[in-house]
Amino acid sequence: MIPASAAREVLVKPSLAPGIAHELRFTVPVGKTVPHLYPESPAFAAMPEVFATGFMVGLIEWACIDAIAPHLEHGEMSLGVHIDLSHDAATPPGMEVVARVVLEEVDGRRLRFSVEAHDAADRICAGRHERFVVDRARFDAGVARKAEA
């Protein structure tokens, strides 16, 4: 019998290992500000035009996805399963945001990242993000079954 720790080690490519780091640069357009997050919501529509927390979360996920893409097998993808971020400063449209992510831990198919982002003036967020490596075809089949129910 293979010990559980050994079984976890073979679930992902060996190159998918702690220490992988990535930086993603993104200039905030007006369409990624708070009023555009849920335009159906009068409360959101009344908010200031600054980089929305929801879009910031997506930027962090994007950076993590890009970081590990070369280390996934054909047919695999990763899904965000947990996010714990601060949102420390407002970023106006037109300003560049730099997201930096580091893969800190690989536990079977669960990946844990430390993350942060800065604009030209401030650190705008910091925290942790977890993703899970899945087989795309199997995931799509599960979603299809759920939609049919």
Q: What amino acid positions are annotated as catalytic residues?
A: 53, 61, 87
In angstroms, the CA 111 to CA 103 distance is 7
- In sequence order, what DSSP letters do the residues of 16-84 get, joined into one string? --TT-EEEEEEEPPGGGBGGGTSTT-HHHHTS-SSB-HHHHHHHHHHHHHHHHGGGSPTTEEEEEEEEE
47 alpha carbon, distance to own chain's centre: 24
